[in-house]
Structure 1
């Protein structure tokens, strides 16, 4: 009875794992401790069951598993002898073949070395069986072994055509195999057996290998006749192999990146390109690019393809497992970094040197390039170069309606910083994290930064660079002088702003003006470098802030510092400048009349009276735009009879009907310090504002004229006219 109870308990755990994707820890601890060790050391990925479905082949050995990063972070395809495991993207996660896409994942093949078999395959397919797609034997039953669950089968020794093998494969497919066992027993050496696929001259050594091909294409197989029947060898395309036992099956997690290039219909696969512990790029990844015509995997021209993994074992076995990092079709995302030396206006690249005190700007650039979902719940995990003294930063977005996130110096004190980033989408495709700071003496290596979202993970590296000390050590100072000592000024919109300062050294040595330059930065924008004047006293600084660089009606910031011939950077001074905004005013009469007119029974144009004056005053300074619009109601008498007339505006040959709605009256760009535009100055009998009265209008008598009134609404904007 006790034995029966124990057996039942184990089976419940197994069923729970297979149906609901619970933790694999319980099963691993009972059957195979190396599985638990691999999963406990797994890198972070995205949740598998959000985008994938287990294949519906009979006795599918694939199960979902937990890692330290959460539930359902991995899929284990096999862990015992004679298994077949498959997992496929669900319908909503299909990959588009019409745009570039990247898939990335971590793969673990166990550590059984020469006892391992048979491996896994990454597969693109449009097989009509959908989730039930797999290799089959001659009876149509799912088949693993050397087929890896995707290639054709040559078990029927009476079939001598390669098409007979191809029809047993996953149809309309392309596969990248990770084959951990070399199948080189020929049909003649082992009658009735099928273990010959890897007897291919393209494979240089009888060890594990990576290769690609089209499983349902007869050209993938070469048939051989023996006295015992036929067997097939597989033609491996662009293989990757190490030529040593234990390669791949070393218990480590191996990173794989696949890049689909839609324009030329090629796939690039890269093996071992990242370190599983640090995420840093590995020095010698192996890469191949092969042609994958869309018609071979999408003969129905749907523009989409299902993808996933198959894995199998025979008498030899291994615990095959996969962690997905980026799922094409869900989110396509990229990340890059760049550093700019604002003092020299040059890019900081790997191996370069930067002078101490130079202003640096570090950018982390995230981009969403497509997918069926937004890239959501993004956390930026930044490893900050230690040789920068950070002063602050921002997070800005491609959708400029989103607010800018301000980062303070205190936010950036730790060498490792985590920042939340808004979701990226078609409407908001980019985010840029910008960090500002000053270079300080020291060196930094290349640092990996991870951008982890709920449905995609990517990374980018900052370059290694060295900050060198100046050739002279005496401190270099700058101080405001004269009227600039207050550190602030308020000016009119037209005014340049002069500032003065004095440079000095701690050791009292003389500043050489001919070897010293100024670095002005206005509102965060570096300006051209300016040499000190050799005709001025030693160390005397004079600089004029250009009016056109200042924003009217706002507080502007000038940062000013100097650099001498020894590479010393002075104190960085800040000067605030408030620009008075000026005003934009419209003058129109509150009440005005049109000239008394005797009706003729024909259409007439009636001019405004001389008191109908309209003008615009702009004291905001040059370069500002404005546009004036107007519309009118109909004209009616006090008895509510309507005057058959329209208020029009004539400007040359153009005629606008103000009674029909708003029409442009005038627009201009102010060119001087201030300007008054007399809109009504040139109005006349056939130009400007006119009342167009029709011939059927009814007037009053000389003693009792008919009076009609209406309302003109003026609309005034401080922007150019919109056509």
Structure 2
């Protein structure tokens, strides 16, 4: 007998949930969950007087490293080391500088660079997240002058001028472009040198049209009360406007003939100088005075992406308050270089990189910490919602449906400089986060842990994610589910640089859609070891009501009937064995909205065996598993062409078995010998209403 299906109806309701009334959690799990990100990943910030870099989401604000940086001899820089012997940051300048013999403040010039083997390669992608700390300016202390991130062909062998030159721009009083050659810099300037000095063009924001001295010493009265962030090329002549300015340098007993000022290309700026006209290079952004020296750690992300015959370098600076919350608008700029430009600017695709900083009569801290080191690890971290077969969900999720959230760790040992983690006996740890409409299913209420499966080319394994304070969700089918929003996982296998076949591993955690809500991009968590951490986001699908649908209904197959059977009538003729087995596996499959009153009916038309055959004199009888406390019910479906109620209720499993199927027929003596091949077409209808 065949079947068809008709009619769907969708309704919307809100699922109910409640907070668990208190569960016993093992003390060790509670301790792990309540640790700060730095404690959980095993990072120690000590051995210095600076505040610990603020966490970025659930990621530590810094990561330990070793043998990455070395200071330029004679500079004021130093590498910060903690009590465990790990490097944790670099100090370029400090707020308590030395004094000259006359009691004046001794200026500082910081310069620190990568060690051999830790260069950047412009033929490959790289990225880094770092945080910088410039101290706190108050009524007694004026800050200056700033720091710079620099990439250059060759590490400098000299310390470039300090003060407003920041150790990159060169000499203020020369006519030549004597800044750091073959270099690119992102400068973070905290002091306005607005009269006869570097910053005149920036803080006056003037498009100069002459070389008169008065034309460059005027201030607009507002901009000098701001700081700037800019990118440029310290070794290029077009980076500067050189003007005639005669003065006497008493300290060095010589006459100054020229002043050199920064010239940026914002808005098509044009600068007239002693050698004609220049348009400037690079760009600057102004930020509020004090926003950089507010006692906060500020975040700087850099990213380089190879694109065809070149690459694009992007920096994003996120200014923050001391508690780590955002302060003001992000500053971001992207610079594209063709391969020809890379050779023209740098003269090489393999670059040294580091930081410079300077103080003058004003001084400040200049400290940098890293969340990951550019070029050290070729790794990535991604997350997505997948179905139980492991396929990424490309459509809306349904309320109370169970899924998996996948976390993919990718690592390329062939292009990394270290294993991850570096320690041979180390492992990775992760903090996993679910979206606001989802939760990780706790499968062990006793110790509040969840199964986390890990797929790895070297062999799959299982870990336990720990959590506390679960929420209880009473499902419509009567099941009780405990879920949490965050899991902490330890013991993830090390990514060994020597094992080039091991390209990473994927963690999956059982997840349930807990409430209705729109699609969203979430902070999905962090994975890290002793030399690098990565965070990721995930695009989580919207959670909607499960649509009403009738996906499968039973087809009944019976043995061939004899004439004697039809003439005499019969009861209890069972369906074929194959048909009985199939119906036990999947008799009726339906999808039901939350808390809907649904009705399932079936309509079996008359078999119409011939003259005087009475509709309804035959029937199919079967048991239907309702999935509730009443167990099953027996249904008799007559062949009268009318809708017969199969079941009405609010609760049933999505898939229900149909068993004990029999065919019954009243005597029909007028049957004649022949092959009727009679089939009944049953119409099944599922409806729902609030």
Question: Do Structure 1 and Structure 2 share a fold, with TM-score over 0.5?
Answer: yes
State the Cα distance separating 1:446 from its structure 2 match: 2.6
Q: For 2:620 and 2:295, how far apart are their aligned partners in 1?
A: 72
Q: For 1:60 and 1:507, how far apart are their aligned partners in 2?
A: 73
Pair 273,468 (structure 1): closer, same or farther in 2 beyond 3 Å: farther
- The equivalent position to 2:536 in structure 1, one of 457, 460, 465, is 460
Pair 195,356 (structure 1): closer, same or farther in 2 beyond 3 Å: closer
State the Cα distance separating 1:102 from its structure 2 match: 0.8
Q: For 1:281 and 1:539, how far apart are their aligned partners in 2?
A: 63
Kindly report which structure 2 residues correspond to 1:68-217, keeping only aligned pairs within 5 A, or say none: 71-80=86-95, 81=97, 82-112=107-137, 115-127=142-154, 130=155, 132-135=157-160, 143-155=161-173, 159-160=174-175, 164=176, 166-167=177-178, 169-186=179-196, 196=200, 198=202, 201=205, 205-206=223-224, 207-217=226-236
Q: For 2:512 and 2:544, how far apart are their aligned partners in 1?
A: 12
Aligned to 1:716: none
Is structure 2 residue 70 aligned with structure 1 residue 53?
yes
Q: For 1:345 and 1:567, how far apart are their aligned partners in 2?
A: 31
8 Å Cα contact 2:466/2:489 also seen in 1 = no
State the Cα distance separating 1:365 from its structure 2 match: 1.8
TM-score, length-normalised on structure 2?
0.56
State the Cα distance separating 1:540 from its structure 2 match: 5.8
State the Cα distance separating 1:381 from its structure 2 match: 1.6
Which secondary structure does the structure 1 equivalent of 2:87 belong to? strand
8 Å Cα contact 2:229/2:287 also seen in 1 = no
Kindly report which structure 2 residues correspond to 1:526-541, keeping only aligned pairs within 5 A, or say none: none
Higher relative contact order, structure no. (Cα contacts within 8 Å, ≥ 6 residues apart):
2
8 Å Cα contact 1:502/1:539 also seen in 2 = no
Q: For 2:346 and 2:649, how far apart are their aligned partners in 1?
A: 65
8 Å Cα contact 2:432/2:525 also seen in 1 = yes
State the Cα distance separating 1:358 from its structure 2 match: 1.7
Kindly report which structure 2 residues correspond to 1:411-490, keeping only aligned pairs within 5 A, or say none: 415-424=486-495, 425=497, 426-441=500-515, 446-463=522-539, 467=543
Pair 507,78 (structure 1): closer, same or farther in 2 beyond 3 Å: closer
Pair 41,433 (structure 1): closer, same or farther in 2 beyond 3 Å: closer
Aligned to 1:231: 259
Which secondary structure does the structure 2 equivalent of 1:295 belong to? helix
8 Å Cα contact 2:429/2:490 also seen in 1 = yes
Which secondary structure does the structure 1 equivalent of 2:585 belong to? strand
Q: For 1:373 and 1:79, how far apart are their aligned partners in 2?
A: 31
Q: For 1:100 and 1:244, how far apart are their aligned partners in 2?
A: 33
Which secondary structure does the structure 1 equivalent of 2:129 belong to? strand
8 Å Cα contact 1:361/1:437 also seen in 2 = yes
Q: For 2:410 and 2:88, how far apart are their aligned partners in 1?
A: 24
- The equivalent position to 1:383 in structure 2, one of 433, 441, 444, is 433
State the Cα distance separating 1:124 from its structure 2 match: 0.6
State the Cα distance separating 1:90 from its structure 2 match: 0.4
Aligned-residue CA RMSD in angstroms? 4.8
- The equivalent position to 2:318 in structure 1, one of 272, 290, 295, is 272
Q: For 1:227 and 1:566, how far apart are their aligned partners in 2?
A: 96
Aligned to 1:219: 238
Is structure 2 residue 373 aligned with structure 1 residue 327?
yes
Q: For 1:341 and 1:565, how far apart are their aligned partners in 2?
A: 30
Pair 131,233 (structure 1): closer, same or farther in 2 beyond 3 Å: closer
Pair 186,427 (structure 1): closer, same or farther in 2 beyond 3 Å: same
8 Å Cα contact 1:449/1:460 also seen in 2 = yes
Q: For 1:121 and 1:567, how far apart are their aligned partners in 2?
A: 66
State the Cα distance separating 1:283 from its structure 2 match: 10
Is structure 2 residue 332 aligned with structure 1 residue 246?
no
TM-score, length-normalised on structure 1?
0.54
Give deviations 1:364-423, integer Å, cap 9, x for gaps: 1222253222332432221234733526442123xx2x1112356888965332233333
Which secondary structure does the structure 2 equivalent of 1:77 belong to? strand
8 Å Cα contact 1:125/1:297 also seen in 2 = no
Q: For 2:398 and 2:328, how far apart are their aligned partners in 1?
A: 29
Aligned to 1:659: none
Give deviations 1:158-203, integer Å, cap 9, x for gaps: x43xxx2x22x2222111101111221116xxxxxx7757456389
Q: For 1:536 and 1:285, how far apart are their aligned partners in 2?
A: 71
Pair 568,406 (structure 1): closer, same or farther in 2 beyond 3 Å: farther
8 Å Cα contact 1:333/1:456 also seen in 2 = no
Kindly report which structure 2 residues correspond to 1:255-270, keeping only aligned pairs within 5 A, or say none: 255-263=299-307, 264-270=310-316
Aligned to 2:417: 372
State the Cα distance separating 1:497 from its structure 2 match: 10
State the Cα distance separating 1:507 from its structure 2 match: 9.9
Q: For 2:47 and 2:515, how far apart are their aligned partners in 1?
A: 52
State the Cα distance separating 1:270 from its structure 2 match: 1.0
Aligned to 2:19: none
State the Cα distance separating 1:53 from its structure 2 match: 1.3
Give deviations 1:512-545, integer Å, cap 9, x for gaps: 689xxxxxxxxxxxxxxxxxxxx9989969xxxx
Aligned to 1:688: none
Q: Which has the larger radius of gyration?
A: 1
8 Å Cα contact 1:183/1:197 also seen in 2 = no
State the Cα distance separating 1:567 from its structure 2 match: 11
Which secondary structure does the structure 1 equivalent of 2:127 belong to? strand
Pair 569,436 (structure 1): closer, same or farther in 2 beyond 3 Å: farther
State the Cα distance separating 1:261 from its structure 2 match: 2.5
8 Å Cα contact 1:61/1:77 also seen in 2 = yes
Aligned to 2:15: none
